[in-house]
Amino acid sequence: MIRNLGVQTSVFNQYLAEIRDSVIQSDPMRFRKNMERMASIFAYEISKGMVYHSIEVTTPLGVAEVPVLKEYPVLATILRAGLPMHTGMLNVFDKSENAFVSAYRKHRKDGTFDVQVEYVSGPQLTDRIVILSDPMLATGASLVLSYKALLTKGRPKHTHIVTLIASMQGVEYIRKNLPSEGVTLWVGAIDDELTAQSYIVPGLGDAGDLAFGPKI
């Protein structure tokens, strides 16, 4: 299942416009904050489909019955670019356990690259709900490898994959390489073009560099 928040009319698209804007991108703090706010909106939308149970809350004037989450999801993030999104998710699901995957592109001299996963840390995931976030879904290779790396911690009952901007090629790669049941892909926008260097066009550039500075 694919859920595209960008096709709806909401303030979400204001933040999407700002993270794409090459002028506004020159302010790293604002770029990170917009990623964080978009992730919080994703978290809110995901929360609508989760399971709730009623509890009694004692107020100064009586007792109120309130539906609350029966189970908090595990929040998983691909380092380093996903960290602002992780903060936004954690602002909403503040009691969640957390998981982290270190995945990166290992470039060759001819311009091609392999995706390497070096590290995965997290709680037991068997029969849990997992939200895996990464700002860009270009080829889809890093997300698929990260998903498979998380399976070493157990098989979730449902995984929500959240990305700000996806390429059409990346979406199709996810369709072909992840289970058709038990996975939902949430996107902010789907762009048609992917360059020879696997950058999304129009995209926004390198989200990790824009958020945290260039890497060598």
Return the higher-pLDDT residue of 38 and 117: 38
Tens of pLDDT, residues 172-197: 999 999 998 999 999 999 999 988 77
Boundaries of every domain in the chain: 1-51+112-216
The pLDDT value given to residue 117: 76
- We find that the CATH architecture of domain 1-51+112-216 is 3-Layer(aba) Sandwich (3.40)
Instruction: Name the average pLDDT for the chain.
Output: 92
Tens of pLDDT, residues 80-129: 889 999 999 999 999 999 999 987 666 556 656 566 777 889 999 999 99
Confidence of residue 142 (pLDDT cuts 50, 70, 90): confident
- SS3 assignment for the chain: CEEEHHHCCCCHHHHHHHHHCCCHHHCHHHHHHHHHHHHHHHHHHHHCCCCEEEEEEEECCEEEEEEEECCCCEEEEEECCCHHHHHHHHHHCCCCCEEEEEEEEEECCCCCEEEEEEEEECCCCCCCEEEEECCEECCCHHHHHHHHHHHHHCCCCEEEEEEEEEEHHHHHHHHHHCCCCCEEEEEEEEECEECCCCCEECCCCCHHHHHHCCCC
Which region among 31-35, 38-42, 158-162, 208-212 has the lowest average model confidence (pLDDT)?
Answer: 208-212
